[in-house]
Amino acid sequence: MRGLSFRSLAFLFLIAFLVWSASFDTCNARRGRHWRHGRGSNSVSLSKKNNKGNSHRKGGHPNHHNGKPKPKPKPKAPSHNKSPPLAPAVPTKPVYDVPPPSHHSSVFNVKDFGAKGNGVSDDTKAFEAAWAAACKVEASIMMVPAESVFLVGPISFSGPYCQANIIFQLDGTVIAPTGSKDWGKGLLWWLDFTKLKGITIQGKGIIDGRGSVWWQDYPELSGKMPSIKPTALRFYGSFNVTVTGITIQNSPQCHLKFDNCIGVVVHDVSVSSPGDSPNTDGIHLQNSKDVLIHTSNLACGDDCVSIQTGCSNVYVHNVNCGPGHGITCVSNITVRDVMMHNTMNGVRIKTWQGGSGSVQGVLFSNIQVSEVQLPIVIDQFYCDKSTCKNQTSAVALSGITYERVKGTYTVKPVHFACSDSLPCVDVTLSVIELKPVQERYHMYDPYCWQAFGESTTPTHPPIACLQTGKPPSNRPQSSPDACF
């Protein structure tokens, strides 16, 4: 009995050991299978949820096991009707079919940095602080909220160490100070954006330069203002600049200026200042290329669009201009689908005596003028002073085309004043239909001096003063890529 009992006990102990070993392996197998299953299932679930636009479930892990191991788990992933796995692991970099929404941390509201927005308190430092924060975050938004008026002094929003693609969201109103002490001896700009990449200013807000104190003397308000007047909004040395939706009004001088910029888009912008406000260009371009301006209303006291030295590949279309001095162009320019009302000039090319370089490849197309003094102008004797010295050197002009220029004028339909030493050549006129506002009054006839080209269709009135062919002493143009 004892022997049998001992052998029986030994046999039972062996059976127990084998059973225990099998249970240990099974447990480990369940744990390993469940961990792998959870990792794989979570990746698939994340992709599906994000494809549907849903966010992750908030809170702790789902508790569908109730703390107990589930017997004999199936090796296949559960269907979408079953609960998610016990311990989902979120991938470090989930893949989205569409970009995720901007995080709140990338929006920098100027009011969060102390701006009052009451139109009286100086909010300059708050704007500086908000920009300093936004500058560090790529694709950030600097928010100027609606229904507030922010008094901001001269300020520079500058790079070059700022991150790219910053949005300046302007929905409120920004006003300039009117005290002479705020401007010192004079500054060239008020709001300045310098050396930035992918900068955008957008919104329904207003930039108000309150320029009347500069145009006239109001000693009771501010004392005598400096002789140097600032541009309201300037971009310098920047790439891929967009300005859209905003209104710029009553600038002391130019409203919107781009200097040394590449890749500029301006659309759905309004510029507004009195027709007699001095030197208040709407949009001023200098040393900039690849520029598109369209679908905007420009009313100012000087040129609606002024394109000056070093510009190329500029396209202007669907712009309403007036009051103002019209559109002044210089090189490699296309101006199309523009309406002008009550302006001094329509489409004008002006160069200074004594200049050098060339203007070529300029197209004015589908220009509608109404009560414009001089609809078509080339002036190589431009002078912005009371007297200018006559000089023989000049900028060479060639390849200027005017097509479908129609409407009414109040002084003279065409004025071509070209240089004796470098006459205008390859001037082309097509479908020109210009009538005086009042037929019964005698207006000036078209005027041409040293202008050569052709009319490809009959013009109204006839522009017989345009000489056909080329001048006898026509010389090669210098610096064909320059514009002045």
Q: Which of 282, 227, 292, 289 is nearest to 257 (CA)?
A: 282
* Token digits of residue 204: 């329904």
d(CA 433, CA 107): 53
DSSP 66-117: TTSPPSS--SSPPPTTSPPPSS----SS---SSPPPPPGGGEEEGGGGT---
Separation of alpha carbons 264 and 189, rounded Å: 19
> Which residues, in sequence order, are bridge partners of residue 402?
364, 429
Per-residue exposure over 238-256, b if at least 16 CB sit within 10 Å of its own CB, e if not: bebbbbebbbbbbbbbbbb
Residues designated catalytic:
302, 325
**How far apart (Å, rounded) are the C-alpha atoms in residues 233 and 252?**
11
At position 370, the amino acid (one-letter code) is S
Question: What's the per-residue H, E or C state across 298-349?
Answer: EECCCCCEEECCCCEEEEEEEEEECCECCEEECCCEEEEEEEEECECEEEEE
CB contact at 8 A, 351 and 379: yes
Alpha-carbon span 223 to 157, nearest angstrom: 28
Eight-state DSSP code of residue 230: P
Peptide bond preceding 323 in cis form (omega within 30 of 0): yes
138 to 112, 192, 194: CA distances (angstroms): 19, 20, 16
Secondary structure class of 38 (helix, strand, coil): helix
Q: What is the DSSP letter of 180?
A: G
- Which tokens go with 404? 């479908």
